[in-house]
A and B are shown apart, each in its own frame.
Chain A
Amino acid sequence: MSEGRYKFNYDDDGPYGLAVRLTTAHRHAGVHLDLGCGFGAIAEPLRDAGVDYVGADADPEGLASLVERGFGTASIDLLDMRGTEAAIRSALGGRPIGSISLLDVIEHLPDGDDLLVLLRRLADETSAPLVVSVPNVTHRDLAAKLLLARWDYTSTGLLDRTHLVHHTEGFLTSRLAGAGWQCREVMDFELNDSDQHFPADLPTLNRSTSVGLFLSMLRESAAAHASTNQFVRVYEPATPFITNVAAAASTDADPLFTVVMRTQGKRMAALKEVLLCLRGQTIDDFELRLMVHRATDADAAAVEALIQALPADLAGRTHVSRFEEGGRARPLNEGLAAARGSYVVCLDDDDLVLAHWLETFQGLAKDHPGRVLRAVAVSQQVTGTQSTDGYTSHRATGPVVPEYLEDFDVVRHLDLSTTPLMGWAFPITAYRDLGLRFDESLDVCEDWDYELRTLLLCGVAPTHEITCVYRRWLGVETSGTIHGVDDWQHARAVIRERLDNHPALLPAGWLSAIDRNTDKRTQELDRYAAKLELDIAELKGYGKNLESRLAEVEGDRSSLKARVGEVESDIVELERQNAALERQHTDRVSALGDLNSSVARGFRYINRSLRRAGALVRHLRRHTG
């Protein structure tokens, strides 16, 4: 605008450079009209691009500068709309408008909407585009400071003290649309740290603090443009030229619940059952979003036929969407995006719900609006069957099992899912305002991940009521059979690591929940320690028995050693006797020639006896060490 302090330098990559790029890309033949031009920062770059530039402002100093630099000018005070059109036409001198720019202008104007409508009318003659640049009041720096009661006006920048209107992206879009302009291209100027990033050590502003990082994450998740400093966009005249177009209002009141149901059309019998459960609900304040995902044409047609055959009370509130892209999380996100209900409840086509499933959530929502609502599920085993006429069905083959926690415990749920997806109702605000979506990169555990992220921000309102049945299928293909244990464990690790890497907001009761779990773990450890004590005592007794047995063995060994010593002495004596006999034999051999053979047999006998005795000694030595 028209004060000396707005004499900004041009930068190719700054807001002015982006505005020039948009202008040159979209302009038509004719004059470029730069309204509220100040010193005309974009004049030279546009002239260099062959554009006939005319700057208009109320500030004579800026206009004088432009004239001096050889540009056309017009003195127009945009704060006074009377005569503005005539002044513009006069400045144009009959030349057509090729393009228009409003850079850092409309936020200063009390009647900016009138100006936008006027420009839309002027642009109609040549379909001239309008380039707009305005500061983004939703930059995260402003939010972080306002939380700590800081709203620091400055002479220029995001909080220029002369700003009369602050723009969010939504407001800018609706404002331009209301004047008959539609956005053609976006080149917003990003600044991670804006001119409002001071003081840098403010805890909410400083992203190295827990609260700073947490708030930054919250803002980035909630909506785009957390780091957009300036919205820089080009608009073209909308056709037809209708201003103040209000969105067509729905005549139907929005329901309390949107039930998002995924189906691939592969289990029609189960789908029919869950639809009957919905008909049996005690309240009917819901819509059904049936997301037919990656179904064959035949299966999708079967789903359509089933819905068409439903009575009007359910068919009339059922919306069927079909799409092929994405994994298991995609239909859930599509359902969130389409939801009209204040709460979203997800129900797969193979599970069952009790009559008061929605009524229970309704009661919780009434008492705890905005929180994530949690009811209790039970499980039951179901087995696929096929009758002789080809009818594929199933039947329950196990009792109801209360496998999910009745008393919700956030700490335990952080460790492992304690509630299947249909046991939750998510406030639509979690999606719409916090920007929480199912993570489409996860093939499994996408529900647990979403539950955790949502409940950590919104808190939980739990009940003990059992309202749904998770069916564990046998002999039927499910995500449980398609994905192996490794997939589930990997997904769990990824989710927990991601949570662990960021600060989190635990719901009230978190400390007692930790205490409870710590006590529980301590009790488990105590029980384990007691068992170990018993095991040790038992082992000690066993050790004593072993020692006693060892002592016995030692005694046996000593006895055997003594016996070996005796036998060895006997052998020595026998060897001595044998040697004496051999000597006698040698001496008498000649004299006792006829007795030789019988004596020799006696010697052989004695030798055999000695060999046997030797073998016995070796054997005893081996066995006595």
Chain B
Amino acid sequence: MDDSPSVTVEAVAQLSLRVQSVVYNIDRERMTRWVGALADALAQARPLLARVEVAVVDSAAEAVLDQAWRDAVAPRLTAAGVDEFELVRSERNLGHGGGQNFLLGDRLPDRLLVLNPDAFVAHDLVAEIVRASTADGVGVVEGRQLPFEHPRDYDLRTGDTSWASGACMLISGDVISAVGLFDDESFFMHGDDVDLSWRARQAGFRVIACPEALVFHDKRLGRGGHYEAPEAEVYHSAHSALMLRWKYSRPDLIEDVIGTLMRSPDPVVRRAIADWEATRDAGRLPVPIDADHQVGQFVDGAYALHRF
């Protein structure tokens, strides 16, 4: 993807990698398979890495994953060369960004791989995505999702793109040092990846897509070929649409987006708008950044130019 010479084993051999996933009401068997796929990918990449950690948080009120499950799957990770495998529970549902922040704590790995529990990695994903992350200036790398690619455009030559999806994103330790991880005050489970990507870019890091790093994201389509988002996703998607425009200094777009959202027949969307407006009225919105609009992109309702 990049003009720089191929990365040598020695160049990445000093890197530590931490893989984190936030689980909420997941199928236990499915999660076991997720571990299997991840273990295969880590085993292949392990010679390239100095240390590997895996951490999972179960945020559901009634956790599906327990110690017995951990004990059952841990040998797969151990055999793959994983140095530490954590399974923790959170007292409440922290959301995606909050769960990731909770898992990371004050650790600072060289690379943090954020992975959805319904995202099954290819056997060479870890090697590919870590390799891509060592190119000049790269702070965040995104894997390519299958069977439905994200429509966001990226530079075919360099991979540069507006933002990276949190379904499978690799974040460098330098980015975390510079801008922190997810803004879980503003975003619960949607838009936090866009926000982190834009803050990384604002700090001078590149955000790139790595088409060679494949991840199978278990998405289903409803009748008519439409993606039928669950209620929580509809709510937080609408909420983050407003929050991103506010945070990235585009109050001029907020009325338009509210008008568009209000045309939705879904009451969940109206609730999201009301909640956001209540936060605004209470003066609890974040301080806007990117005043000169260097990183925030709002194109036809999306946060990047889309290919289709």
Contacts and interface: CB of A to CB of B under 8 A. Distances in A.
Contacts of A385: 156, 211
Given A311-B37, A355-B216, A400-B221, A395 B211 contact: yes
A272 B214 contact: yes
Contacts of B223: 406, 464
Contacts of A545: none
A469 B225 CA distance: 10
B124 interface: yes
A352 B144 CA distance: 14
Contact of B149 (A272, A277, A282, A396): A396
A400 B148 contact: yes
B3 interface: yes
Give the one of B30, B124, B149 with max A CB within 10 A.
Answer: B149
Interface string B205-239: 00000011010101111111100000000000000
Contacts of B156: 385, 387
A253 interface: no
A296 interface: no
B267 interface: no
A171 interface: no
B195 interface: no
Interface string A385-420: 101110101011111111000100000000000000
B146 A273 contact: yes
A311 B36 CA distance: 9
A276 B120 contact: yes
B30 A395 contact: no
Interface size class of B (residues with CB under 8 A): 20 to 34
B157 A387 contact: yes
A397 B225 contact: no
Interface in A375-390: 378, 380-381, 385, 387-389
A313 B36 CA distance: 9
A310 interface: yes
B30 A388 contact: no
A354 B219 contact: yes
Contacts of A313: 36
Contacts of B6: 389
B221 A388 contact: no
A451 to B, nearest CB: 21
A397 B219 contact: no
Contacts of A396: 148-149, 151, 307-308
A353 interface: yes
Contact of B225 (A272, A309, A389, A401): A401
A561 interface: no
A399 B226 CA distance: 10
A276 B211 contact: no
Contacts of A267: none
A276 B122 contact: yes
Contacts of B1: 387, 389, 391
A353 B211 contact: no
Interface in B151-165: 151, 156-157
B40 interface: yes
A400 B225 contact: yes
A399 B151 contact: yes
Nearest to A389: B1
B307 A280 contact: no
A398 B306 CA distance: 10
B147 interface: yes
B123 interface: yes
Interface string A339-373: 00000000000001111100000000000000000
Given A282-B30, A378-B221, 10 more contacts: A277-B146, A279-B120, A280-B216, A309-B123, A309-B124, A311-B36, A395-B307, A396-B148, A466-B222, A469-B147
15 contacts: A277-B147, A280-B37, A280-B146, A310-B123, A354-B147, A355-B218, A385-B211, A388-B3, A388-B157, A393-B212, A396-B151, A400-B148, A402-B224, A464-B223, A466-B221
Closest 10 CB pairs of A and B: A280-B216, A402-B225, A311-B40, A352-B147, A355-B218, A396-B149, A466-B221, A280-B120, A378-B225, A400-B225
Interface of B: 1, 3, 6, 30, 36-37, 40, 120, 122-124, 144, 146-149, 151, 156-157, 211-212, 214, 216, 218-225, 307-308
